[in-house]
Amino acid sequence: MTTYVLCATMHPLNPAVDEYIASLKQWGDEVSLLRSIVCTCDVEEELKWRQPTYTVDGANAVIISTRKDSCVIGFFKGVLLDDPSGLLHTPGPNTQSARYAAFTSVAHIKKHKSDIIALIKQAIRNEKQGARVAFKTINEHVVPEELQDILNRRNDVRTAFDALTPGRRRGYLMHISGAKQQATRQARAEACIPRILAGKGLNDR
């Protein structure tokens, strides 16, 4: 594994991240290089969720992680970033804030080093300026057709659903709409009825 020389950083490096990188069986060189790039910027280095995480004034801003097919640098408020190179992707259809850039080699990272630094500096500036993501309210989320049909047919389910907290309602909407097949969405909607009637969220015990 190649160890990349870290340029001068304003904050001390976290030894836990050294141990994490040393333990990697894959993508170690790529993680090490991304770390060297991030640490040239004004961030604090921590290890959270077993991943190198970089904070600004205590707020999570940047994270480095690995997948089977790539090494990833993520931005917690990536939706606010200007991305002229088109590096950023949305983790999932229901993700409102986070964005990530995936790389498959050291050469790939080096090719986009200036773009990565520009994104990191934007993320830092946004945190220092207190920028916030304008999350959709529950009323702005689209109700899956399969659930809407149940709500239209059953007043008891509609009353129980409307009485749920916004977070619980959002959980059901995301769970049902996350299925690609109509049959799966229908099955999920039907399976949720007892929990909705009981006033429980999707993951409540």
Residue-wise pLDDT tens digits, 147-178: 999 999 999 999 999 999 988 988 898 899 88
167-195 mean pLDDT: 91
30-43 mean pLDDT: 95
What is the residue type of 149? D
**Domains identified in the chain and CATH numbers:** 15-128 (3.90.1150.200), 138-197 (no CATH)
Whole-angstrom CA distances from 124 to 103, 127, 135, 160 are 21, 5, 20, 43
pLDDT at 23 over 90: yes
pLDDT at 116 over 90: yes
Task: Answer for the pair 74, 100: CB distance below 8 angstroms, yes or no.
Answer: yes
- HSE, side-chain direction, 13 A CA sphere, residue 17: 24
143-149 mean pLDDT: 91
Cβ partners under 8 Å of residue 145, min gap 6: 185
Task: Answer for the pair 60, 76: CB distance below 8 angstroms, yes or no.
Answer: yes
59 vs 91, which has greater pLDDT? 59
Residue 104: what pLDDT? Answer: 97
pLDDT category at 12 given cuts 50, 70, 90 is confident
pLDDT at 141 over 80: no
Burial category of 52 from C-beta neighbours within 10 Å (exposed 0-12, middle 13-18, buried 19 and up): buried
Q: Decide: pTM greater than 0.85.
A: no
89-96 mean pLDDT: 77
Residue 146: what pLDDT? Answer: 93
Residue 9: what pLDDT? Answer: 59
Cβ partners under 8 Å of residue 91, min gap 6: 74, 98, 99, 100
pLDDT at 74 over 80: yes
